Structure 1
Amino acid sequence: MDIKTIGTGLAKINPNQSQKVNTEGSNTSFANVFKSYMENVNATLNKSSELTGQVAAGKVDNVHDVMIASQQSKIALELTVTIRDKAVEAYQETMRMQF
């Protein structure tokens, strides 16, 4: 996962300008930013899994790269779970509101 990619996607969103959420045409919509983030997380997990398999097969000389990829995937997955938990919590709080 590349933090710069996530930051770039988020930096395009201007908080002072109201934007209509458009999942089809705009790259700055929440859906597109979130989809890009999930693709990065998936790629990170796949890279870690591939490198771990290569270590088991004895094809990797530098174990440091494998450990770094493993930690990156762990952190990416933890962040994803935290985002999910916060989204569920916000949804539940919204459902508890009385109108």
Structure 2
Amino acid sequence: MITNNLITPVNLGSISGMNPLERKATPAEATESFATFLKQALDGVAAQEANVHTVNDQFIIGKADVNDVLIASSKAELSLALTSQVRNKVVEAYQEIMRMQL
């Protein structure tokens, strides 16, 4: 089964059962939460790159199949492409905010 380390499953049961009177997160807490999520996502991309190097080394010494190398490199390539697209969207949003007139 192929899994994506960048996207974590969301438990929708916990969202529907939320009490509207619960304390809302402050902007600082929300920023910290987003920063933590972003760091985990980037660490996942780095881990996939490291995995490609490990599988390549195993292939060179004959302990891995060429299919394993191709799968690992494809997963790393897709993760990097996703990261690049997210970065492009963030830069685009930042530029749009800078163009706003107050």
Q: For the Cα contact (< 8 Å) 2:52–2:72, is it kept in 1?
A: yes
State the match for 1:26 in structure 2: none
Matched letter for residue 53 of structure 1: D
State which structure, 1 or 2, has the greater radius of gyration over its C-alpha atoms.
Answer: 2
State the match for 2:40 in structure 1: 36
2:25 corresponds to 1:19: yes
State the match for 1:68 in structure 2: 71
Q: For the Cα contact (< 8 Å) 2:55–2:64, is it kept in 1?
A: no
Matched letter for residue 95 of structure 1: M
Q: Percent identity?
A: 32
1:5, 1:89 → 2: CA distance? 21
2:66 corresponds to 1:97: no
Q: TM-score normalized by structure 1? A: 0.75
Aligned length: 90
2:4, 2:55 → 1: CA distance? 20
Q: TM-score normalized by structure 2? A: 0.73
2:3, 2:44 → 1: CA distance? 7
SS at match of 2:72: helix
2:34, 2:11 → 1: CA distance? 11
| Structure 2 unmatched runs, 5+ | none
1:38, 1:2 → 2: CA distance? 16
Structure 1 residue 54 displacement after superposition: 2.9
Please identify runs of 4+ aligned residues in structure 1 that moved more than 4 A: none
